[in-house]
């Protein structure tokens, strides 16, 4: 059914970079054989799952939607992929994304833009645009995305589905192609909070091969969703976002409405503020490019990645440097190059103190704001995005406008917190709007508990 749905919608939506039809049918048959033999089945038995093309898969290409990795097939599975297989899920294919997860619209993919199933003239958001669009289009019930600065939550919001960014370290990053290692997390996208909880349960947990993985047991997330009684829960509304002029009226109204729903479930609403929130985007856009410039230095056409065919052996720099430069020139798109240059600059001698080290200090202040806010409330409620899905082409030539899409999402990454984007209504164009809940570190249960009551 999933394969038929993809065949029907994907020529238009372009959510997939690779559909593994035969492998998926084989996997489904294996699960069925297990069932017939009376063997115990995993929690995702037979369920088709699509995964963002930033996760290493031993039996499918992994391109990060970049020419640099076109045709690359990793020799191993990412831990989350291994866990999906262990849970008897059926991996259906790899989903389109902004190149190396840098973007907010899936327009920087080297393999064409993904379209929003609600309005195909609009973007599905990004960078996990394909992962959100294929769930919204009804191709698969579950997908995995990655979130460095909002890349699960913003596309989930634009596509009217649910997406969760786990606590930093909750889910293993082993086999997740690195963008900004101190911010990256893998997380679930699905139709419902229940499905998100089930998928999170299957992928979370300690992993010795990821040195930042947290050695903590995984709660039974699906078990905590059975109530709409939120008495005793304090939900903080961010003063900054409710007064922000850059935010569409319909978004503010949706957040307000969500507050009413939570109140009707018995929660208490309090106003809180995060004094350094105006520095979230600038801080993120120093730290993320710095880490990216370092992580992406491995793609030089010799050990990894696209290798140019036009090596200039008479080049003044010598053939090796020439090959390196040309391979990177040909392999990377404009946004990736921009990030590498910004990152190299901010890390270079004489500038590192002014930019990178300064950004690290501000990051500490931002984390402190969240710590203080969570002494006054249990969860934070606010918008996911300043607007609903924008038109394809609208922001693609204006990086600053594109970066401002991340206004409300990058805080959770800088502080390492879990956050969820939930469908919160529609705007006047009939486009979905997301609302966001953020929780203290490792409080995914609290997040899902409140999200479950809301849905
Ligand atoms: N839009 C942000 C960026 O371009 C977030 C990306 C992400 O979370 N991977 O960096």
DSSP string for 88-135? T-EEEEEE--SGGG--SSSTT-TT-PPPBTTBTTB---SSSHHHHHHH
DSSP assignment of 312-351 equals -TT-TT-HHHHHHHHHHHHHS-HHHHHHHHHHHHHHSTTT
Mean of per-residue pLDDT scores for the chain: 96
151 included as an active-site residue: yes
| 52 included as an active-site residue | yes
Query: Using one digit for the tens of pLDDT, what is the confidence trace for 434-444?
Result: 999 999 999 99
Q: What value does the mean pLDDT take over residues 258-262?
A: 97
pTM of the complete model: 0.97
Q: 137, 129, 213: which is closest to 163 by C-alpha?
A: 129
pLDDT attached to residue 242: 66
pLDDT tens, residue by residue, 70-116: 999 999 999 999 999 999 999 999 999 999 999 999 999 999 999 99
pLDDT above 90 (res 445) = yes
**For 330-383, how does the pLDDT look when each residue is reduced to its tens digit (9 = 90+)?**
999 999 999 999 999 999 999 999 999 999 999 999 999 999 999 999 999 999
At residue 239, does pLDDT exceed 90? no
**Span 14-34, pLDDT tens digits:** 999 999 999 999 999 999 999
Please identify which of the residues 66, 109, 127, 277 carries the catalytic annotation: 127
Given pLDDT bands bounded at 50, 70 and 90, which one contains residue 246? confident
At residue 315, does pLDDT exceed 90?
no
Any residues with Cβ below 6 Å from ligand 1, and which? 101-104, 127, 147-151, 179, 288, 406
State in Å: Cα 342 to ligand 1 middle.
Answer: 15
What's the pLDDT at 311?
A: 84
Q: Is 105 a catalytic residue?
A: no
- Model-level ipTM above the cut of 0.95: yes
Ligand 1, closest atom to CA 288?
10
Question: Rounded to the nearest whole angstrom, what is the distance from the C-alpha of residue 333 to the centroid of ligand 1?
Answer: 15
Residue 224's pLDDT band (cuts 50, 70, 90):
confident
Mean pLDDT score, 110-132: 98
Express each pLDDT in 151-202 by its tens digit. Answer: 999 999 999 999 999 999 999 999 999 999 999 999 999 999 999 999 999 9
Is pLDDT above 90 for 327? yes
Whole-number pLDDT of residue 53? 98
The CA 75 to ligand 1 mean position distance, Å, reads 27
Q: 422 CA distance to ligand 1 centroid (A)?
A: 19
CATH no., domain 2-225: 3.90.1300.10
Beta strands per DSSP E along 172-231: 185-190
Pick the atom of ligand 1 nearest to 402's CA: 1
Mutational test site, ligand 1, from 126, 291, 409, max ligand atoms within 8 Å of CB: 126
Residue predicted with more confidence, 226 or 149? 149
Q: Which residues does 80 contact at the CB level (< 8 Å), separation at least 6? A: 51, 55, 144, 171, 172, 175, 176, 186, 203
Where exactly are the structural domains of the chain?
2-225
pLDDT digits (tens, 9 = 90+) for 171-180: 999 999 999 9
């Amino acid at each position: 059914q999933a394969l038929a749905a993809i065949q029907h919608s994907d020529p238009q939506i372009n959510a997939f970079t690779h559909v593994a039809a035969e492998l998926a049918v084989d996997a489904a048959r294996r699960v069925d054989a297990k069932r017939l033999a009376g063997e115990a089945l995993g929690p995702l038995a037979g369920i088709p799952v699509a995964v963002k093309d930033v996760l290493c898969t031993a039996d499918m290409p992994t391109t990060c939607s970049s020419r640099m990795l076109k045709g690359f097939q990793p020799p191993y599975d990412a831990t989350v992929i291994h866990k999906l297989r262990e849970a008897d899920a059926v991996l259906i294919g790899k989903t389109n994304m902004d190149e190396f997860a840098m973007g907010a619209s899936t327009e920087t993919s080297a393999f064409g833009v993904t379209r929003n199933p609600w309005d195909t003239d609009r973007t599905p958001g990004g960078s996990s645009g394909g992962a959100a669009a294929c769930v919204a289009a009804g191709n698969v019930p579950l997908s995995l995305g990655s979130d460095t600065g909002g890349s699960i939550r913003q596309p989930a919001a634009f596509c009217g589905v649910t997406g969760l960014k786990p606590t930093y370290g909750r889910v293993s990053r082993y086999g997740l192609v690195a963008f900004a290692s101190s911010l990256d997390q893998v997380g679930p996208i699905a139709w419902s909070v229940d499905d998100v909880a089930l998928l999170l349960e299957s992928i979370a947990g300690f992993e010795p091969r990821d040195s930042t993985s947290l050695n903590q047991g995984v709660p039974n997330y699906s078990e905590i969703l059975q109530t709409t009684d939120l008495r005793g829960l304090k939900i903080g509304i961010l003063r900054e976002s409710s007064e922000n002029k850059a935010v569409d009226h319909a978004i503010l109204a949706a957040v307000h409405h969500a507050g009413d729903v939570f109140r009707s479930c018995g929660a208490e609403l309090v106003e809180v503020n995060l004094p350094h929130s105006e520095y979230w985007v600038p801080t993120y856009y120093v730290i993320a490019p710095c880490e990216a410039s370092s992580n992406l230095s491995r793609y030089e056409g010799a050990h990894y990645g696209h290798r140019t065919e036009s090596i200039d052996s008479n080049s003044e720099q010598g053939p090796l440097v020439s090959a390196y430069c040309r391979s990177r020139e040909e392999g990377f798109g404009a946004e990736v190059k921009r990030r590498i240059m910004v990152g190299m600059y901010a890390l270079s001698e004489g500038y590192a103190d002014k930019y990178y080290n300064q950004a690290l200090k501000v990051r500490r202040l931002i984390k402190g704001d969240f710590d203080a806010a969570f002494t006054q409330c249990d969860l934070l409620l606010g918008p996911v995005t300043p607007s609903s899905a924008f038109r394809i082409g609208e922001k693609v030539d204006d990086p600053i406008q594109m970066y401002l899409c991340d206004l409300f999402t990058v805080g959770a990454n800088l502080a390492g917190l879990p956050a969820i984007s939930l469908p919160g209504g529609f705007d006047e164009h009939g486009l979905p709007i997301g609302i966001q809940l953020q929780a203290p570190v490792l409080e995914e249960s609290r997040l899902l508990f409140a999200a479950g009551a809301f849905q």
